[in-house]
Structure 1
Amino acid sequence: RETLFLSINIIDRYLSRRPICRDRLQLVGVAATLIAAKFEEIHPPEVSDLIYVTACTYSRQDILDMEMAMLGVLNFQVAVPTPAHFLSHYQAACKTSMASDFSLEARPGAAARNPFAGSSWHERDGELAWYILELSILDIRMLRFAPSHLAASALLLSNAISGHAPVWPADLARASGHPEAALRACVGELRGLLTEAPSGDLQAVQNHYRHAGGQLVGDRAAG
């Protein structure tokens, strides 16, 4: 996921500085993926894998040449904060907040010490936040939000859909630097993307987050 968002950032920055022919856009994409994967992953894909993905449209040398050209234009500035980096950090903080060694029934005072006591974090909660965040990739309007703001809004919306209360406790506001009120506009737009996604033309994100049996991670939002 970090590789995906870093790839997009690299593509955006490169295209903002260099015009490119339409028939070379796929080459830019695979080269950006290679750069991002080398930075983010222990085992990045081989160039041969990328050649296969492009149906042999480009040669090994084409991809390596574009990789070097892009790094040169970007002055080798690969390390940038993306929404994915922030969401991973916020989710870790959220899990810590929600973890409790005792239930509300056993320890009535727990709620005062831990606002998420009695709630439980499930993997599906994390998947929902990532699904929402990846939907934002498809809408250019979301570029006006800072990466940290976008990630915080995706997590807040996920918490709301999952029924956690409060949806944005003080410790998450401190960890993110974004109070709940400041996130409302972005959350509203993300909710709109979530609602419109099933009928949209671009279904790659939908298909990626569809579980065996056809159930979509975001189906709870429609309930």
Structure 2
Amino acid sequence: MDEPWWEGRVASDVHCTLREKELKLPTFRAHSPLLKSRRFFVDILTLLSSHCQLCPAARHLAIYLLDHFTDRYNITTSKQLYTVAISCLLLASKFEDREDHVPKLEQINSTRILSSQNFSLTKKELLSTELLLLEAFSWNLCLPTPAHFLDYYLLASVSQKDHHCHTWPTTCPRKTKECLKEYAHYFLEVTLQDHIFYKFQPSVVAAACVGASRICLQLSPYWTRDLQRISNYSLEHLSTCIEILLVAYDNVLKDAVTVKSQALAMVPGTPPAPTQVLFQPPAYPALSQATTTLAQLQAPVQDLCLAYRDSLQAHRSGSLLPGGTGSSLHTPYPTLQPLDMCPMPVPASLSMQMTIAAEPRHCLATTYGSSYFSGSHLFPAGCFDR
């Protein structure tokens, strides 16, 4: 195809097919004992995918594969967990991206995150793990994620009829759309950071990213008829997911302001920076009113994205890319067992590493509870009895 599918003549048909496929996705149960280390490996895959310039769809599919595999099957060693995570990224990049963007074995082993664990991965280990993953997912990697829907919804994200703060029309829809696209992709990355977003269908999450972006930019109405037509969702369908995104947005901004205030406090003679709280959870129960003015959002959205990325990378400070290569280990893996049959805690070495590397974060899943997740997977268990 010479053009992205969402800009082609078959865009509507592709969207309908993706919506049908998302209805068949397995339920995420959040039963894995490895959930405490999930955020760490999401950051690893995010940084590695950015280093290899993978598309968002590949990154989101990789994390989807990792989450649903660990949700069903127990992983007994830290090296297994690293191998499964990297294999998920390899499979996703092969399925969603260009061949020259697929991470090479040398790139993977040159990362300091592996050498710090005193091991490197071999081609045989990665290939065997890829086969296990393919069998677990019945060789079906056509699994829609929010990244597959976002660009299609962005086509109708801004129109000539939009107004700022219910008063004046947008003076330059093109620039407004560019800024909204930055916000939407920022929110798309936010959805990777907490497994609570598996409560919603991927198309709902993607549409909510657009809706939250319009609220942040004070565009009126918050959800247009064009967006409702292209997505088949009303604002009522999206309100819960949008509110969770705005809570995360508010938390990141408060963290960024705190870091900036601490930095300024170290400079003699600098007055403390005022703290701006843009959103509070009780302030938008029905998304009927916004709590900010346009003047509060004049800073470029790139600064917000950079602050967010810095907060993700603060505890590593470039420790992932690039670095030396650890010694190669060829010890065969123990047999993987279904999680329900053989529950195991996180290995002590990995738990210690997570304790040292972790940074304070706002846990949305704790706020909103874990009652969303129920049901079971349809993954076969026999393919792991080796």
Give the TM-score normalised by structure 1.
0.76
> Does residue 29 in structure 1 map to residue 85 in structure 2?
yes
Higher radius of gyration, 1 or 2: 2
1:197 Cα offset (Å): 2.3
> Take 1:73 and 1:182, find their aligned partners in 2: how far apart are those partners?
32
Q: By how many angstroms is 1:156 displaced?
A: 0.4
Q: Distance in 2 between matches of 1:92 and 1:21?
A: 45
Question: How far did 1:52 drift?
Answer: 2.3
- Kindly provide the CA deviation profile for residues 41-80 of structure 1, in whole angstroms up to 9, marking residues without a partner as x: 1122223222223335322221122111111221111011
The letter of the residue matching 2:86 is V
Cα 1:99–1:37, aligned 2, differ >3 Å: closer, same or farther? farther
Residues 1:46 and 2:94 are matched in the alignment: no
Give percent identity, aligned residues only.
26
Q: What is the SS of the residue equivalent to 2:209?
A: helix
Question: Hey, what's the Cα distance between the residues in 2 that align with 1:124 and 1:29?
Answer: 33
Query: Which amino acid letter does the alignment assign opposite residue 191 of structure 1?
Result: L
User: Would the alpha carbon gap of residues 190 and 22 (structure 1) be closer, same or farther in structure 2, given more than 3 Å must change?
Assistant: farther
Cα deviation code 1:173-210 (max 9, x no counterpart) = 1211110122111111110011112539xxxxxxxxxx
Deviation at 1:21? 1.9
Instruction: Say which of 80, 84, 91 aligns to 2:143.
Output: 80
Look up the match of 1:92: 155
Mapped pair 1:149 → 2:204: yes
Offset of residue 164 of structure 1 = 2.2
Counterpart of 1:167 (choices 202, 207, 222) is: 222
Q: Distance in 1 between the 2:234 and 2:72 partners?
A: 35
Partner of 2:6: none
Asked if the contact 1:11/1:28 (under 8 Å) is kept, the reply is yes
The match for 1:209 is none
Cα displacement (A) at 1:118: 6.0
* Runs (5+) with no aligned partner, structure 2: 1-55, 164-168, 257-299, 308-386
Are 2:188 and 1:125 aligned? no
> Structure 1 residues 159 and 173 mapped into 2: Cα distance closer, same or farther (>3 Å)?
same
TM-score (norm 2): 0.46
Q: Distance in 2 between matches of 1:12 and 1:37?
A: 16
Q: Hey, what does 1:206 align to over in structure 2?
A: none
Distance 1:116 1:143 in 2: 34
In the alignment, which residue of structure 2 is the partner of 1:217? 305
Aligned length: 193
Distance across 2 between alignment mates of 1:173 and 1:91: 12
Unaligned runs of 5+ in 1: 105-114, 201-211
RMSD over aligned Cα atoms: 2.9
Q: Which amino acid aligns with 1:90?
A: Y
Aligned residue in 2 for 1:19: 74
Task: Choose between structure 1 and 2: higher helix proportion.
Answer: 1
Aligned AA (2:109): I
Is 1:194 matched up with 2:249? yes
Instruction: Give the C-alpha shift of residue 4 in structure 1.
Output: 0.9
- For 1:168 and 1:143, the matched residues in 2 are separated by 23
CA contact (8 A) 1:133 1:151 kept: yes
SS at match of 1:67: helix
Which amino acid is 1:119 matched to?
Answer: P
How many Å apart are 1:99 and its aligned residue? 6.5
> Structure 1 residue 22: deviation in Å?
4.3
Q: Which amino acid aligns with 1:27?
A: T
